[in-house]
Amino acid sequence: MEKLAVVALGGNALLKAGQKGTISEQEENARVASERLVELIRRDYNFVITHGNGPQVGNILLANSAANKNYGLPEMPLDVSVAYSQGFIGYIIEQQLRNTLRENDLQRDIISIITQVVVNKEDPAFQNPSKPVGPYYSKEEADRMASETNSVYAEDAKGRGWRKVVASPRPLIINNTTSIAKIARSHHIVIAVGGGGIPVYYEKHNKMVGIDAVIDKDLASSLLARQINADKFIILTDIDKVCLNFNTPQQRSIDKMTMSEAMRYMNEGHFAAGSMGPKISAAIQFVENTGMDAIITSIEKLGIDNGGTRITFA
């Protein structure tokens, strides 16, 4: 029997640290990811792809700011920038995945869905920006831009530099999940909830509007996986396995951990809020609500037996 998986691609799966961010770079990264995703089809999985947009939406914001400063063009609000990133990232993934399917004599329709996600306007996250977006900077560059733009910058947990951080409210409702599930279970591939989804709220009972925020892609993907009754939730990031005491001499990778063990490690402070923390939280939420397994790994290890870190119910 075919199973349904939600596969969450990190933003760095398309734009890696140190790259300039050209479309050709992102297309090549998407091609590599597509070759691994095809393995899921061979393992009798239907799947929905979600993706991050941290580097891309940060670059969109930088371009908007420069255009406003130099040419007087109006800046796009953050929710529109997220929608913009969903469109072009979905296009890149769809194109490269379609090419890979043809190379492997496989036929699937691929549908990119611009996805809105409802949040609470009063979420405490709006008072405590924490979600990194955009490129990495030195501390001096970050301090200068924070002063010039009244933005907030924070140091990356992996020591790669400083990044702009924005509000990241909790996702509450994902629109169009009925259609997403129906299409995916009909042997087609859906790309949805890009960048965690476009953050919206109800200003009035029947009036939905956007809001300046970036929803965590992994938490939104976990919610989607639960709402469409997925059999597996896979989070792809830039490390092969989850580690304890990350980036220290005591670093130790984990092959498997139960949900309760993951919660204990999190409470002990092993998983940084701006890095692995949301991924672990997302995995726990999926496992706790479904009893199914979640996997955190790199794109290179996707589909490999015993690859990555498996989080189980018990």
Active centre residues (catalytic): 11-12, 131, 217, 279
Contact 224, 180 (CB under 8 A): yes
List the one residue out of 124, 278, 120 whose CA is nearest residue 203: 120
List the one residue out of 262, 239, 259, 243 whose CA is nearest residue 251: 243
Residue with tokens 């892609």: 217
**Residues paired with 294 in a beta bridge:** 233, 311
The beta strand positions in the chain, using DSSP E, are: 3-9, 45-51, 110-112, 116-118, 131-137, 152-155, 162-166, 173-174, 189-191, 198-204, 207-210, 232-237, 243-244, 252-253, 256-258, 294-298, 309-312
* Spatial separation of the C-alpha atoms in residues 48 and 65, rounded to whole Å: 33
* Spatial separation of the C-alpha atoms in residues 278 and 125, rounded to whole Å: 14
The beta strand positions in 10-118, using DSSP E, are: 45-51, 110-112, 116-118
